[in-house]
Amino acid sequence: MRGKILVVEDEPRLAALLRDYLHKEGYEAHCLKDGLEVAPWVCEQAPDLILLDLMLPGRDGLEICKEIRSFSGIPIIMVTARVEEIDRLLGLELGADDYICKPFSPREVMARIKAVLRRASGQKSPGMCGLVLDKDRYKAILHDRELYLTAVEFQLLQILASHPGRIFSRRQLMDRIYPDQRIVSDRTIDSHVKKLRRKIAVAAPGENWVHSVYSVGYKFEMP
């Protein structure tokens, strides 16, 4: 399989057509028609790209795009029924990777999908022992698998990884992540670190990247 594509489209015939084309091209394709299902599905299934229709029941494409960008830099192609809409969408700076207008030919969609995937994989810079941090998109990739970190988890990893071996206290981490001096307890950092480690463990079972230093804080070390 060349990749897992999520098609969010409420017109059943169009969704089926796209799915068949994607299959023919060697992609794994899944279709969702209800906007409310998208974010939970993306969290759980970690697709490689989303083809996202703008007008949907439940929640529209704009909201979905914003929501997904709050936790992931996964490539998104927005689909709209009106060409004049694209200018407005661009102005909103949603963070989508490309825009496509209906009606389109499946061949055109395939070309766009391939281009966006190619671009996305080109952005990965060589990292530390298989860990790549894409700061612009808050995207962390470990051994070619995206970790799907929240913004806070990404910042934690980035701060720790910026000085491998150096111990950061919880207070130092909190000050860097919450510069507005918001009151957060030590437990908040602990719980974010716990989630971060769980995601790392899924991508790299048995590898310990984030170490806790008893009663002091945390440090990053390459396994």
Residues found near Ca ion in the complex (CB under 5 A): 10, 53, 55
Task: Give the residue with the Cβ less far from Ca ion, 9 or 97.
Answer: 9
User: Nearest approach, Cβ of 61 to Ca ion (angstroms)?
Assistant: 8
User: Nearest approach, Cβ of 37 to Ca ion (angstroms)?
Assistant: 14
Task: Give the residue with the Cβ less far from Ca ion, 15 or 200.
Answer: 15
Q: Output the six-digit token pair for 194.
A: 């716990």
Task: Give the residue with the Cβ less far from Ca ion, 55 or 210.
Answer: 55
Residue 92 is classified by DSSP as T
User: Nearest approach, Cβ of 55 to Ca ion (angstroms)?
Assistant: 4
**Residue 155: CB partners within 8 Å, gap ≥ 6?**
176, 177
Task: Give the residue with the Cβ less far from Ca ion, 38 or 161.
Answer: 38
C-alpha span between 144 and 205 (Å, rounded): 14
First-to-final CA distance of the chain: 30
Name the one residue in this structure whose structure tokens are 């111990």.
167
Q: Residue number with the shortest CB distance to Ca ion?
A: 55
C-alpha span between 212 and 93 (Å, rounded): 38
User: Nearest approach, Cβ of 165 to Ca ion (angstroms)?
Assistant: 51
